[in-house]
Amino acid sequence: MVCFENFLPDGQTETKMQQKSISRVWINYALFALLVLLLILLMYQVDRQWLKLEQMQTALTEQATDLRNLRTALSSGQLSLSTSGTAGSHTVAPAFQRAWNAAQQPGYAQGDWNVSSFGNNLKTLTPLISSDAYASDVQSYVQESLITRNPDTLEWEGLIARDWRVSDDGLTITVNLRPDVKFSDGVPLTAEDVAFSFSFIMNEAIQAPRERAYLEKLASVTATDPYTVRFVFKEPYFEAMNLVAMVVVMPKHFYEPYLKTPETFNESKGLLLGSGPYRMADPKGWTPDQGNVELVRNERYWGDVQPTFDRILWKIIQNDSARLTTYRNGEIDTYSARPVEYNALKNDPQIMDKSHHFEYMSPVVGYSYIAWNEQRAGKPTLFADKRVRQAMTWLTDRQRIIDEIFLGYAETAISPFSPRSKQHDPTLQPRPYDMGKAKALLKEAGFEDRNGDGVLESADGTPFTFKLTYFESNEDTKRMVLLLKDLYARAGIKMEPSAQEWPVMQEQIDKKDFDAITLGWTSGLETDIYQMFHGSQIKTGGDNFISYSNPELDRLIDTARATVDENQRMPLWQQAEKIMHEDQPYTFLLRRKSLVFIDRRINGLALTNMGLNQGFLPMENWVPAPRQRYR
């Protein structure tokens, strides 16, 4: 018993010793883990400090550059200082006069964000590589052209250009640049950048076939001194001034390194730097997986008026209903309404109380169309026959589309030319819906119902079937396609709607891998149709992605483009329009009115002869300080 009694205490003592030993091990482990964690935190803190130091060094370097440039400008007499901040001591260039006037309005304030939306994801923001209108919208805030148009008079006004002169023969345009323009990273913009922009685009290794086609009339662009550029044309060109005016200046120091590795540029997603009022926070860092696109104020902006908003933000909202809800909740500032929504929202007290609303047909409004692919995989399609294309237009009830889907907020498109343009022949009228004429043409082309199943067949028994590709997120387009499916079926044509995401559509266009596709083109005050309809642009990457060719049209396009005198040029465009009206390479659908709601807190909105001064004149819009939402 003594042993037992003695055993029990001894056993307990041994157990306590083991527990203490285990506790010491765990304490050591915990101390070691804590030490590791502290080391990681220390390394993280050091990395952050290095990052801050790098950012400070970059900022100091840029500020030093700014100071050197300012000192140089002062010593050279390019800039003079004034202690007065009044308008009387500040000469405002005409291109900035409207924005200057806006800045004098009572309650004017800088700050806040301007938040809009895009209907689909962007594939790339890199200039030249991008091809959609959304990317172009973003780039317009970041990059600038030499000359712009006055939105009221439509006359040319210098932007980066101070002035210019045109030679007597019209083949040479000499542009003098403002000496105070800088890119957003602080590097001065010079004539070398303008000349580089041209040479970069014309380099065959750069994936820019559309831009090369646009610039092919230029023989050379030369920097004759730091602030003078000479544009020399190969031959007279009707849009020579427009071409020079709209050259977007790409900074040589930023883009030139990509000439060594052009594939890197061609595959890039977000290489965007310019001299505009806004900039990318990281000019090399945007990728499509980020979704939203955000620009920040260019604090170095050289213009006579500074940017209004701190940020410009586009949210990706693909669903129309979700976009309206987001606008209703105040999360975006602009809502472009579908016609059926527009009529309803005009009677919605909440929307009307919070919104400006605008209804207008811009003079440069684009047109929608159905493009009939005439060649696929190297073989002619059923749309290679002009009679088939004409029949498809007779079967496309455009007036019904306008009345039922767009509720009258549109007009029928006859051609690429606006009916208000001098390019348009007023004797041409749109083809109305006529099944009888359509079926007669189709029978003449060899299509009729040979087996009584209600579907037209060719002479070898092949049914008349095709796919119509359209953008899946556009509800009005979806309704139109379903209406057309029914109309075509009544004539014995089986059309299969093919809804696609935008990147897929772009790939199909690039590869010419579709039967028919419905899209839209933007327009100008005078529309050059060379890229879309000239036979030379059937090449890979060209905009003639339907392989349409008519030698007589090519001749008229070439002649019109080389005719500087407007009185002689317009009859040539009208002859070209007659050929397109006859050939129907597209079924031209309609031109839509813009139906826009904009948050009422945004001031300075106005209609101009170019449309609404939102977007292309961002510095005219502002939010009074008490109503600013983002600080």
Strand ranges (DSSP E) for 501-582?
A: 516-521
| Of the candidate ranges 537-546, 559-568, 622-631, the one whose mean pLDDT is the lowest | 537-546
The arithmetic mean of pLDDT across residues 275-295, rounded, is 95
In the prediction, which pLDDT does 616 show?
A: 53
What pLDDT is attached to residue 1? 34
Rounded to the nearest 10°, the torsion over CA 174, 177, 182, 183 is: -20
Of the two residues 549 and 56, the one the predictor is more confident about is 549
Closest CA to 437 of 396, 391, 485, 488: 391
Mean pLDDT of 334-357: 94
* Closest-CA residue to 590 (of 427, 375, 344, 409): 409
The amino acid that residue 69 corresponds to is: N
Whether the full predicted model's pTM is greater than 0.85, yes or no, is: no
Q: Virtual CA dihedral for 472, 475, 479, 482, nearest 10 degrees?
A: 20
Question: Distance between CA atoms of 137 and 618, rounded to whole angstroms?
Answer: 11
Q: Is the pLDDT of residue 132 over 90?
A: no
* pLDDT for the residue numbered 465: 97
Reported as a single tens digit per residue, the pLDDT across 181-194 is 999 999 999 999 99
H-assigned helices in 77-125: 97-103
How large is the average pLDDT for residues 317-334? 92
- Give the whole-angstrom CA distance, residue 118 versus residue 596: 14
Distances in Å between the alpha carbon of 532 and those of 11, 387, 432, 507? 96, 21, 25, 17
pLDDT for residue 105 = 94
- Nearest-angstrom CA–CA distance, 611 and 363: 7
Amino acid (1-letter code) at residue 295: L
Q: Which of 243, 245, 223 is nearest to 233 (CA)?
A: 243
| Burial (CB count <10 Å: 0-12, 13-18, 19+), residue 21 | exposed
Sign of the torsion angle spanned by Cα atoms 500, 506, 507, 508:
positive
- Report the range of poorest mean pLDDT among 298-312, 519-533, 585-599, 608-622: 608-622
Residues 549-574: b if buried by 16+ CB within 10 A, e if exposed: bbeebbebbeebbbbeeeeebbebbb
Domains, the chain, in order of start with CATH, read 107-119+291-360+594-631 (3.40.190.10), 123-279 (3.90.76.10), 367-592 (3.10.105.10)
Asked if residue 620 has pLDDT above 60, the reply is yes
pLDDT score recorded for residue 159: 96
How confident is the model at residue 53, as a pLDDT?
Answer: 43
For 351-396, how does the pLDDT look when each residue is reduced to its tens digit (9 = 90+)?
Answer: 999 999 999 988 788 999 999 999 999 999 999 999 999 999 999 9
d(CA 450, CA 465): 15
Mean pLDDT of 90-117: 92
Q: How confident is the model at residue 26 (pLDDT cuts 50, 70, 90)?
A: low
pLDDT tens, position by position, 386-415? 999 999 999 999 999 999 999 999 999 999
If pLDDT is split at 50, 70 and 90, which confidence band does 119 have? confident
- The model's confidence at residue 90, banded by pLDDT at 50, 70 and 90, is low
Which of the 8 DSSP states describes residue 182?
Answer: B
pLDDT on residue 540:
72
Q: Helices 435-444 and 386-395, interaxial angle, to 10°?
A: 160
What 351-356 contacts at long range (C-beta under 8 Å, 24+ apart), as own/partner pairs, is 351/597, 353/600, 354/330, 354/599, 354/600, 355/597, 355/598, 355/599, 355/600, 356/597, 356/598, 356/599, 356/600, 356/602, 356/605
Mean pLDDT of the 611-617 span:
73
pLDDT in tens, 209-249: 888 988 989 999 999 999 999 999 999 999 999 999 988 99
Q: What is the pLDDT of residue 502?
A: 86
Average pLDDT of the chain to the nearest whole number: 87
- Whether residue 4 is predicted with pLDDT greater than 90 in this model: the reply is no
Token pair of 291 as six digits: 């979704």
Q: Which two tokens stand for residue 473?
A: 């997120």
**Contact assessment for residue 604 and residue 612, using Cβ atoms and an 8 Å cutoff:** no
Q: Quote the tokens at residue 266.
A: 């061609």
What number is the average pLDDT over the span 276-289?
95
Mean pLDDT of 453-465: 95
What's the confidence (pLDDT) of residue 17?
A: 45
Distance separating the N- and C-terminal Cα atoms of the chain:
84
Using DSSP's 3-state secondary structure scheme, residue 587 falls into strand
Per residue in 525-556, pLDDT (tens digit) is 889 999 999 999 998 777 999 999 999 999 99
**Comparing 34 with 284, which gets the higher pLDDT?**
284
All residues at 6 or more sequence positions from 296 whose CB lies less than 8 Å from its CB, including other chains? 278, 279, 280, 281, 310, 311
DSSP code of 251? P
Calculate ∠ Cα 297-299-304, nearest 5°. 100
Q: What is the pLDDT of residue 615?
A: 60
Q: Are 448 and 442 in contact (CB under 8 A)?
A: yes
Place of tokens 């929608």: 368
Q: Sort 367 into a burial class: Cβ within 10 Å, 0-12 / 13-18 / 19+.
A: buried
Helix, strand, or coil (residue 521): strand
Inter-residue contact 416 to 367 (CB < 8 Å): yes
- Position 364 scores a pLDDT of 80
User: Which of the 8 DSSP states describes residue 332?
Assistant: -
Give the pLDDT of residue 539.
81
Compute the distance between CA of residue 237 and CA of residue 218 in angstroms, rounded to an integer. Answer: 9
Residue 610 has pLDDT above 90, yes or no: no
